[in-house]
Structure 1
């Protein structure tokens, strides 16, 4: 029991402190020999498709479309697709008022992954950007994401998730905001070492040609889509200057429910990503333990 206690304590300390400390040292060593890549802002931008799965989002969908249309990117190179399958409120009707938005709707609801699969034949952009209906992007988000694709080894680029803490939320919301700031820092360092495996569904992108369907019962679809690309030996980049704002969980119960879902999805991905199990076992340990304990 004593050994089990100290081993468990070590795992927890490594997850929150040790892993970050090791990353920090490795980054400092690498920067002694390599200069971080820079990007020419004058190069031509690729075409993009912004894909949003929206289920019963009538209260926020107008603001989401306006935010998406306002993004600083050439309009002729920006396609916007909303999938509203199963929605029973006025979400679809509100979206149909926007001429620049392609709306896909079916009465039946089969889940987010099914909505993504159904939308893929309509995707025209070289770069496919996934974002949630209840998150809002900064104006420069797309430009900041796509600049990484000038490196042909990059197959996916994740943005940063930022938490807006509402005044009515409880103390857990502040903790969630701190957690995501720390997690974002780790992802930034991971990318410098080409070891980033995280892609938050609030904002991430892929090369469209690299998209691969994942199982319909996938719990964390964004993570699995990105990791299928990593299996093909492409880099998953991370760009903190492209960010999505989202309201924190309203209370501890809601946050616990979300953490359980993420942990279950992480464990599911371990069994489905057999090619990556051995070299990334330590990173998965960090991922799964952090979402359970935080």
Structure 2
């Protein structure tokens, strides 16, 4: 009886590990419908304004860009100049910089940049909150002051493609769309990171065709302003929970590859791991709080949420079960003997490369390193959330790097 239980737990775990990484992406490709020529013209063939004013501009929706900021002095000038260069009528665009108890010169630099000749047409509002209350608190406090048709959330360190807002405005002509995601790009990606985000972008596009993409990336996404619901104060990944709250209301979260956000701030392996710890904790929180999205009555959304987000949270536990179960079954079963040898080889190789600081050359090896490292962070992040160690309070990557350097020098 015990042997049978171990067998089925191990077999199911191995199946789910393979399904999540290979089967689900392939199944999405088979299930999604190809856009008709009409849809291609609507979504991909959006004509550019070319900065030309026209009578049709009066029909464009108003857009507010909300940028919560904590110590962004390094990037804020470039961000405001980028927004000033976007192809969208200035009388339809508002930029709100909400400084969350910044201890640097973010607010002053923003005001100085907004006064430059090339940025003077931009409607920039700088709000300075005195205490560092966290990103979620900033969003909840600032959103009631925004009356625009569409609200764009964007990270300070991400530059936006020139026609992004005009394309978004056209896309929101579809009344079923409540959220629109951009394509996330990296200026200086770490090893394996760009492949991972390209993979995630393909998954997100396919999920959108099945019903709705899951969440968004904080670099840039849009929502209908009136659909905003205040977030729980302890929300970890606001850029997932906020879009999915809108999806719960019956609207779609779509994605448009022509809208791009390019991340300027480089990260090293240590910083990326810390970021993924937080994402892992957030994933666990999302699964628990949005559990009703698994209701089969929601169709494609339930399928993608279970296969994507749900299995991502549980994946480290399935991987451990697959490893331990294979080890127990190996003496009496050739398949599990090969399975345990393969798993041990991969984990030891990744661990050795990590400790030695070695970067493998092959694309498969790089992907394995990034995946195993990611699931390790996911496992630790999940445990941190369950034990209450993850506070949900944001910290800039540069601040993390600074604090890490201080600790190392002690």
1:188 aligned onto 2:205: yes
The answer to whether the 8 A contact 1:164-1:247 is kept is: yes
Q: Which of 13, 31, 39 is equivalent to 1:36?
A: 39
Q: Structure 2 vs 1, CA of residues 4 and 249 (structure 1 numbering), >3 Å: closer, same or farther?
A: farther
Tell me which moved more, 284-293 or 81-90: 284-293
Gap change, CA 1:34 and 1:25, over 3 Å in 2: farther
For 2:16 and 2:168, locate their aligned partners in 1 and report how far apart those are by CA, in whole Å: 33
Range 157-166 or range 44-53, more displaced: 157-166
**Residue 178 of structure 1, CA deviation:** 0.4
Asked whether 1:111 is paired with 2:134, we answer yes
Question: Counting helix residues as a fraction of each chain, which structure ranks higher?
Answer: 2
Superposition pairs for residues 1-294 of structure 1, below 5 Å? 1-27=6-32, 30-31=33-34, 36=39, 38-39=41-42, 41=47, 44-97=59-112, 98=114, 100-165=123-188, 173-247=190-264, 250-279=267-296, 280=302, 281-288=306-313, 289=315, 292=375
What's the CA shift for 1:3? Answer: 4.0
**Counterparts of 2:40 and 2:18, CA distance in 1:** 32
Partner SS, residue 129 of structure 1: strand
Where does structure 1 lack aligned partners over 5 or more consecutive residues?
A: 167-172
Distance 2:159 2:312 in 1: 25
Deviation readout 1:19-55 (Å, 9 max, x if unpaired): 110011112xx33999636437596321100110111
Compare CA radii of gyration and give the structure with the larger one: 2
Which position in structure 2 is the counterpart of 1:170? none
Q: 2-side partners of 1:125 and 1:179: how far apart?
A: 34
Deviations 1:203-251 (A, max 9, x none): 1110000000110110000111001101101000111111111147532
CA spacing shift, 1:19–1:101, aligned 2, 3 Å: same
More strand by share: 1
Report the CA distance shift for 1:142/1:33 in structure 2 as closer, same or farther (over 3 A). closer
Change (3 A) 1:76 1:178: same
What is the rounded CA distance, in whole Å, between the counterparts of 1:92 and 1:76 in structure 2?
23
Distance 1:244 1:34 in 2: 26
Superposed displacement of residue 198, structure 1: 2.6
Residues 187/84 of structure 1: CA separation in 2 closer, same or farther (3 Å cut)? same
Aligned partners of 2:107 and 2:126 also within 8 Å: yes
Cα distance in 1 between the residues matched to 2:181 and 2:65: 14
Give CA-to-partner distance per residue, 1:156-180, whole Å, 9 cap, x none: 11111111226xxxxxx13111000
C-alpha contact 2:157 2:265 (8 A) present in aligned 1: no
State the 1:287 CA deviation. Answer: 4.6
TM-score, length of structure 1 as denominator length: 0.89
8 Å contact kept, 1:126–1:207 = yes
User: Are the structure 2 counterparts of residues 33 and 88 from structure 1 closer, same or farther at C-alpha, using a change threshold of 3 Å?
Assistant: closer
Could you say if the C-alpha distance between residues 145 and 162 of structure 1 is closer, same or farther in structure 2, counting changes exceeding 3 Å? same
SS at match of 1:258: helix
Q: Distance in 1 between matches of 2:241 and 2:9?
A: 32
Deviations 1:50-108 (A, max 9, x none): 11011111111101110111111111100000001210111111112225310000220
Unaligned 5+ residue runs, structure 2? 1-5, 50-55, 116-122, 297-301, 316-370, 379-410
